Amino acid sequence: MMATKSSIDVELGSSSSQDEDLPTAKRPKREEQTSEETPRRKITINIGARGTLHVWDAEDAVKMQSVYHVMGTTVGCFAKTPLQDIFKSLPFQLTPAEAAYLRDIGAARFVDEAVLRKFPTAVQQEAFREQREKQFNDQHKEFDKARQFQLDERKEQIMAGKIRKMTEAAAVSGIPLNLPEDREELWQTIRNELLSRPMVQEGSARIELPFRSWKVDMGLAELEEITFSYPQTHPERVYYAAYLELMKAGFWVTSGMKYGGDLLLYEGDVHVNHSTCIVRIVDETEETSLEDILRIGRVATACHKAVLWASVRKDYTVDFTCSKWSLMK
């Protein structure tokens, strides 16, 4: 087992010649801002009634991941596939540590959703119904345009099918089939008949995407900006101390729950790289049993990862020890 002390200026796993397989990373590029520049836009984090932390804005989510390397977790669903939970959409839910990190580097603002818990007034309900009807009519027009384009694109296929069905119906009924000689005239007749069918009905076709509160979008409510307090307890300070050190060192960090750890460590973009370490955060004053070490070691070995032990001292400085069974002689 090899031990390395962490600091902002020292890369993890670089203090020993035997640590070639341990992770190293470059610090992420941060947005620079001088006093004369326009203040940068901050990521808006909504604090829910139960303390949930959500990022609803798509631009904020992209900036959060690409610039600050904070990943979050998508918890919304796609409108066209609401019954599956493999591919998810906005909003992004953040852990308290992720939100606190964005706060501490001056990249986030927090708003309170408490006002949204109030039941809407009669005036607000009527305004909502009018706005929803307007949006439905606007989308209905766009749908009709798209349908006309689709019909024209499949003109020959539709005409052949219609002529075949009309010929079969005429043979069954014994009534002679009189079709226009001009194919364009025939197509216009078929096209108009298809377009006259009501394809969209508000009661069955309306899909409301949960991107933002309608009260806020319509100017009927304003979310108050508040402060976000984390960490508050000793376990929270221990966890955040380790998380903060890893983020400052330039790593990409996500939850390690699926591997039985506290965090997962990536040397590069999470979307294109596999994690290299399972991070276990321990309080220096607490004992770690041999069984716990063996359990996480077996899991890490099976997943081809190392275990990074983050030992947090009483003053909340962090010592990192990296263990990998393949390195032990």
pLDDT at 280 over 90: yes
Confidence of residue 185 (pLDDT cuts 50, 70, 90): confident
- pLDDT at residue 10 tops 50: no
| DSSP state at residue 284 | T
- Return all residues near 274 (Cβ < 8 A) that are at least 6 apart: 266
Q: Decide if pLDDT at 231 tops 50.
A: yes
Q: Given this model, what pLDDT does residue 69 score? A: 94
User: Positive or negative, the Cα torsion across 116, 120, 124, 126?
Assistant: positive
Find out whether 208 and 228 touch, Cβ atoms under 8 Å: no
Q: Could you tell me if 72 and 97 are in contact, meaning their C-beta atoms sit under 8 angstroms apart? A: no
Residue percentage of the chain with pLDDT more than 90 = 34
**Contact status, residue 210 vs residue 75, Cβ threshold 8 Å:** no
Coil vs helix vs strand at 102: helix
Query: Which of 15-24, 135-144, 227-236, 292-301 has maximum average pLDDT?
Result: 227-236
Residue with tokens 């007034």: 121
Give residue 237's pLDDT band: very low, low, confident or very high (50, 70, 90).
Answer: very high
Task: Give pLDDT, residue 13.
Answer: 38
Q: Would you say residue 189 has pLDDT above 60? A: yes
Lowest model confidence (mean pLDDT) among 11-15, 94-98, 185-189: 11-15
Residues across the chain: 329
Q: Given its phi and psi angles, is residue 89 left (phi above 0), alpha (psi -120 to 50 degrees) or beta?
A: beta
Q: Which pLDDT score is estimated for 21?
A: 43
Q: Cα 93 to the chain's mean position, in Å?
A: 7
Share of the chain above pLDDT 70, in %: 80
Q: Tens digit of pLDDT for each residue in 17-56? A: 333 344 444 444 444 444 444 457 899 999 987 889 999 8
Cβ burial 2-27 (10 Å sphere, 16+ → b, else e) = bebebeeeebbbeeeeebeebbebee
Sheet holding 43-47, edge to edge: 73-76, 89-93, 53-55, 43-47, 108-112, 224-226
Helix axes 183-195, 155-173, angle to 10 degrees: 90
How confident is the model over 211-221, as a mean pLDDT? Answer: 67
Q: What is the pLDDT of residues 241-253, one digit of tens each?
A: 999 999 999 999 9
Q: Is 54 helix (H, G, I), strand (E, B) or coil?
A: strand
**Which pLDDT does position 39 carry in this prediction?**
56
Higher per-residue pLDDT: 50 or 255: 255
How many other CB atoms are there within 10 angstroms of residue 273's CB atom? 11
Return the minimum-mean-pLDDT range out of 27-36, 184-193, 225-234: 27-36
Which tokens sit at 253? 């960090």
Helix (H) or strand (E) holding 75: strand 73-76
- Dump pLDDT digits (tens) for 119-172: 778 887 888 888 888 878 888 788 888 888 888 888 888 888 888 888 888 888
Tell me the C-alpha to C-alpha distance, in Å, between residue 41 and each of 31, 107, 201.
11, 8, 40
